[in-house]
Amino acid sequence: MTSILLAIVLGLAFGAVLDRVGASNPTYIGKMLNLTNLNLAKSILLAIGVGSILMFGGQMLGLVDVGHMSVKTAYVGVFVGGLLLGAGWAVAGYCPGTGVVAAASGRKDALFFIAGGLLGAAAYMVTYPNWKASGMLDKIWGGKVTLGTVPGAKYEGLTALPGDVLGIVIGLGFVALAFALPERLVPERAAPQPAE
């Protein structure tokens, strides 16, 4: 019961942070994706970087159990699904997590997004045997692997580099990128002026 309560509290806190940084606002997401306002992208990069540093640093110090590490299997379907998710994110202005946060904050359009996501998941479940038979779900690059070898983890590393150190270095790279990115890469278009 404690773990369920902790999950609810952490979920609410995470949702509040997503809403606070603008991740539940499709306008902010659109501006991030068309590179006219990168503040949200900077927040995402910073969160990933700090999370990586804390997770891998915690593993090195013995504070985080490596057994909780979960690695997704690499297969072609993951990349196709990622492209579909990205396209859906651009069109709808939501990803699954931000859609739920937007619905919780009262955005009615997010309810349609959630319904569409559930419909898509149901369609995938019904057609799963076809996807499995197509070969798109066959393992590639060793299946469940990590970039570096993490001591005590059940996953193989693609390289002999120490995975914890590699995770911290990549995390530091994300943090540096978050601070180095300008506020925008593409200037916003000026609003059209009425003819006189």
User: 195 lies in a domain?
Assistant: no
User: 189 lies in a domain?
Assistant: no
pLDDT at 170: 94
pLDDT at 64: 83
| Position 176 confidence tier, pLDDT thresholds 50, 70, 90 | very high
139: phi then psi, degrees, rounded to nearest 5: -65, 140
Q: For residue 14, what are the domain limits?
A: 2-180
User: 123 lies in a domain?
Assistant: yes
User: 185 lies in a domain?
Assistant: no
- Bridge partners (DSSP) of residue 139 are 75
User: 193 lies in a domain?
Assistant: no
pLDDT at 192: 65
Number of domains in the chain: 1
Q: Are 114 and 104 in contact (CB under 8 A)?
A: no
Q: Rounded to the nearest 10 degrees, what angle do helices 26-33 and 39-60 cross at?
A: 90
User: 120 lies in a domain?
Assistant: yes
Q: Which pair of structure tokens corresponds to residue 5?
A: 């309560």
pLDDT at 133: 92
Which of 20, 40, 24, 43 lies closest to 32 in space, CA to CA? 40
User: 30 lies in a domain?
Assistant: yes
pTM: 0.78
pLDDT at 42: 93
Q: How does the average pLDDT of the chain come out, rounded?
A: 87
User: 92 lies in a domain?
Assistant: yes
d(C-alpha 28, C-alpha 36), whole Å: 10
